[in-house]
Amino acid sequence: MAEAAAPLKATRQGSVEPFTLVEGPEAWYAKDYRGRSDWVTVLSPTHIAELDAAVQGILRSGIDLRSQLHKVTREQFPLPTLGPVLDGVREEVRAGRGFALIRNFPVERYTRAEAIVGYWGLGLYWGKAVSNNKAGHMIGHIKDIGHDPNNPLTRLYATNAAQPYHNDSADIVSLLCLKAARSGGLSSFASSITVHNEILKRRPDLARVFAGDWYFDRKGEVPPGKKPFFAIPVFNYHEGYLSVNYSDNYYLLSQRHAEVPRLTKAHYEAMELFNQLARSDELRQDHMLQPGEIELLSNHTQLHTRAAFEDYDDVDQRRHLLRLWLAPAVDRPLPESYKEIYGGSVEVGNRGGIHVEGTEEHISLEAE
């Protein structure tokens, strides 16, 4: 009779050992949050009054929103009672369960300028914002603006196509819904730590494949002196932390470069299992973002995706989200390989984003 495999050792963030089960609030299953609402924060009338006052204070100052709003600091956007709430949300995302939802941001009565200013102000309580793309947008616009999803240089957030499970290029990603689609566009998220644990239980050989180099295409957003691709593991064990970075469409796209090693059968098996787990009813949470809702996710412990959608003919009524990529002042250490995807830095509080030579950082009021 074959000898039974030894039980897997369990560790926790801060003292994670490679190829052990990672326990903690970020390693959740869908059943853990079924029927629960403690991950949702609802802005109160007092909170909204503070937000209104801070927004109007910035607008009355007369600054140019495009060129100067991204230089506004937390001290210039006081939120006496809401601020501590936002700090708590950040900590739950950064070091707790890894996700949160905020409701009641007043998009229905805010002008676009007010919404942009208000969202920027909230982000000041979550971390340093970093550029979303090669255009230098400090607030990203998630909207179908007619880009071809089959073009290898297209970022899918500028289309109505489905997005596969992925992480973004910053410690925390935040999304504010301005308008919902006519139909579709379901958001889903899953714990990448739970995916790691399940792969370790089912296919420990593939867990080791995920800890090797995976080649990531830059989609034309190439920093000076860099190649149009780079290598980064999916499972990153570093200084007692497990951080997961996964975007299979970027791995597949990197195969267009002759210098990139070919994906093997094991790589394809690993991606198939990863996607199967992330999409499963056991691991996945679904949420249809509604206007005025803000979603926050840790890119180190969570994955997110979006279904395809059908939109309105009127461009002003189309699905439209705003996105912040954020670097909190306190966060986990990351390995040097993250420099490639985090704007050339792994310095806590000063990392993440896409930086291309000659681009000037700014904030646009519209998708472009």
Per DSSP, 121 falls in state H
Q: How far is CA 41 from the centre of its chain?
A: 19
- 154 touches 148 (CB < 8 A): yes
Report the Cα–Cα distance between both ends of the chain, in Å, rounded: 65
Binned at pLDDT 50, 70 and 90, residue 204 comes out as very high
Task: Provide the pLDDT for residue 226.
Answer: 93
pLDDT digits (tens, 9 = 90+) for 76-95: 999 999 999 999 999 999 99
Please, what are the domains in the chain? 17-27+39-340 (3.60.130.10)
Q: What is the mean pLDDT of the chain?
A: 96
Give the residue among 106, 111, 110, 116 at the shortest CA–CA distance from 70: 116
- Residue 5 pLDDT more than 90? no
- 323 touches 139 (CB < 8 A): yes
DSSP string spanning 54-112? HHHHHHHTT--HHHHGGG--GGGS--TTHHHHHHHHHHHHHHSSSEEEEE---TTT--H
Please, what is the Cα angle at 136 between 312 and 215, to 5 degrees? Answer: 90
Task: Provide the pLDDT for residue 1.
Answer: 38
The strand pairing partners of 141, in sequence order, are: 322
Please count the residues of the chain. Answer: 368
- 353 touches 128 (CB < 8 A): no
* Continuous H helices in 211-304: 248-253, 265-279
Within 8 A by CB and 6+ apart from 6, the residues are none
**Please, what sign has the CA dihedral across residues 25, 129, 321, 148?**
negative
The amino acid occupying position 143 is K
Average pLDDT over residues 347-359: 94
Cα dihedral 308/356/113/56 (nearest 10): 130
Average pLDDT over residues 150-169: 91
Cα dihedral 324/327/329/332 (nearest 10): 140
Q: What gap in Å lies between CA 208 and CA 205, rounded to an integer? A: 5
Max Cα-Cα span within the chain: 79
Binned at pLDDT 50, 70 and 90, residue 154 comes out as confident
Binned at pLDDT 50, 70 and 90, residue 150 comes out as confident
Task: Provide the pLDDT for residue 43.
Answer: 98
Q: What gap in Å lies between CA 10 and CA 15, rounded to an integer? A: 10
Q: What are phi and psi of 188, to 5 degrees?
A: -135, 150
Based on the number of CB atoms within 10 Å of its own CB, is 299 exposed (0-12), middle (13-18) or buried (19 or more)?
A: buried
pLDDT digits (tens, 9 = 90+) for 318-351: 999 999 999 999 999 999 999 999 999 999 999 9
Q: What gap in Å lies between CA 216 and CA 213, rounded to an integer? A: 9
DSSP string spanning 325-368? EEE-SS-----GGGGGTTTT---TTS--S---TTPPPB--SS--
- 351 touches 345 (CB < 8 A): yes
- 168 touches 287 (CB < 8 A): no
Task: Provide the pLDDT for residue 153.
Answer: 78
Q: How far is CA 337 from the centre of its chain?
A: 18
